[in-house]
Structures are given as structure tokens and as C-alpha cells.
Amino acid sequence: MSPSTPVNRTDVAVVVPCHRVRDQILPLLARIGPEVAHIFVVDDACPEGSGAHVLAGCHDPRVVVLVHERNQGVGGAVITGYQRALAVGAKAVVKLDGDGQMDPALIPQLVAPIAQGQADYVKGNRFYNIEDVQAMPTVRLIGNAALSFLTKLSSGYWNVFDPTNGYTAISAEVLSAVPFSRLSRRYFFESDLLFRLGTLQALVVDMPMTAVYGDESSGLRPFRIFWPFLVGNMGNFGKRVFYNYFLRGFSIASLELVASVAFLLFGLVFGTLGWFASIASGRAATTGTVMLAALPVILGVQLLLSFFAFDIGAVPRAPITPLLTTRRRSRDALANVLRNERCGAERPGIVRAHELIEEALNSRRAG
């Protein structure tokens, strides 16, 4: 895929959530190129008045400022922008943070896979180039690595990295299928969105990018949010396993998971009880007792690894946007037919067809 792939200007909208970015927002907006038709700046009850600052200092007719009376978090701000982008008919929607760490010049590259029908969701990846990793603050590096593994586990997208990266583009057809009411409104938003995309079997790809770390302060503290992210991701992992391996499908991987859990539980419980009994009696456990505890654990681990091998191989490989587009068009066509078929409604085409059939039948009877 070439970075120079042309993108239809009327198809692209950009959502910029704003909170404490007054000093960075205007220079950022000035750098957004002509390939974008709509820019939605969402002031998430910013104490610095970023929205008012944009209204006073920005004269770009593409820019529309949306203001939240109460802070809803980055997820809530992005959802507001997404809804407006869908309302204006955008085909691809880009999310660009207002802190200036993301280069707007990369928007054509970000949108190109969607425009070419090669992806449903494209996200930035700051870990792709080793030089960029070396320039990343150590705290961010370690925190993002841990969060990336948790998100891989919960979403099923084992091939993507840097889940908290906010530089993303999404197909409008796929975005329309995402349940906004169930998405997290805070920093868990990007990870939660990946989980929802996984339930849709959308194709997600990474785009290498370089982040710019200036004097701006980031509200994301990896170690402080690790436990909330851990709880959220483990909850989503449980949902994903239930949805994909027991509710919507059942395969050999489902049996492997059930068997691995059973073997592990039996081995661990039996071994623990035997260990306590050995301590209480002062006698060493017999070889048979040890093997009876160890073998189920070994089998359970092997089956669990086999399950994850299957899960990694089940990462979506084809975009669903064409399927959703066809489904929507079929639904619209059916709705149009039903509107024309209502009793008492004017339907000259159908009436004329009926008249022609009657004339043909009468001619046949007369002959």
C-alpha cells in the first residue's frame, strides 16, 4: 500500500477531543490538510476553555466546536464526535488527540487502507521502529507494553500493539455497528473499542508512527490505571471467550479450554490438599500422589497453550466493511420496496405493471 493513495476529501472527518490542550489545539488544527472535509473539536468541559479558544482563534470553515457541559472523559468526547461524523455522512472517521503528539500529515496514510477496502480500523503504533521506542519515556514504555498484552488478551487482536494510541481511523460502516452505549467513557475507551470490534470480527491493522513528546502534560498514567485496565480487560476476555467459543461458535478450541480448566483445577486442588496432608502428618507424599497432582497440571497447561494457539490463529483476516455495506444497501432497498407496496400509497410503476399484465391476459383470452 502506498502512502500516497488518494483519499476522497468528502469522505473523511476528524474528531479532536479537547481537555487541557489550549496551547496546542490551534497549531494542530492549522496542520490538518485539505484531504479532510469535517473537523469536530469536542470540548470535554475543558477548564481552560479550549472550545471557546478555538471559536475565537480558528477561521477554518471545516471546524465545528462541540461542548460538553460536564466532563465525560476522552471516550465520551470521542463518541460525541463520532456521532456527528456519522450524521454528516463521513465514510472514514479519524480520531486525533488535541495535545499535538500526533502528526496530521499522516491522516492520508491512516485512511488509505480503509479507502482501499483493506481494513476496517487503522491505529497508530509507536513501537514499530526501534528508534522511536528508544525515544519513548521509560514509564510509558513499560506501562504500554503491559497494557498492550492485556488488550491482546481481551480483544483477540494478537497482531496489534500500542492499544492506548489515540491516533485511529475507522470505517463509518463498522462504526455504525458499534454499540456506543456500552463503550467505556474514560481512558479504557480505546481498549474497549478494540474488544467491541473483535466481537464484530472487524479487520484491525497497525500503522507505524512517531509520537512527539513535548512540554504538554499527559493525563494518562500507565501505572495508576493498570489495575482498572486489568479488571476491564479480564472482564472483556471472559466475554470474548464466551461469545466466540460457546455462544456464537463451538470448536475443538472450546473443548481444549474446558478440559484445560478442569485438569488444572483438579491438579492444583488435589496437590494443595495433598501438600497440607503431608505437612500435617509429617510424612512425605507418595510418588503416586505427586504424579496424580502433577500430570493433570501438565496436561492442563498443554491444552491451554493449544487453545491460545488456536485463538491467535483466529485473528480476523478480511474486512467486514463490504459485507456491512451490502447488508445496509439490501436493507435500504427492501425498505424502499415495502414503502412502495403499502396499500393506498401511490405506486405508478407497480400500477402500470399490473395494467400491462391484465392487458396481456385479456389478449390471450380473446385469442
Rounded to whole angstroms, how far apart are CA atoms 239 and 179?
15
pLDDT band at 101 (very low <50, low <70, confident <90, very high): confident
pLDDT band at 347 (very low <50, low <70, confident <90, very high): low
Residue 42, phi then psi, degrees to nearest 5: -110, 105
pLDDT for the residue 134? 75
The yes-or-no verdict on residue 2 having pLDDT over 70 is: no
pLDDT for the residue 205? 96
pLDDT for the residue 340? 58
- Per-residue pLDDT of 32-79, as tens digits, reads 999 999 999 999 999 999 999 999 999 999 999 999 999 999 999 999
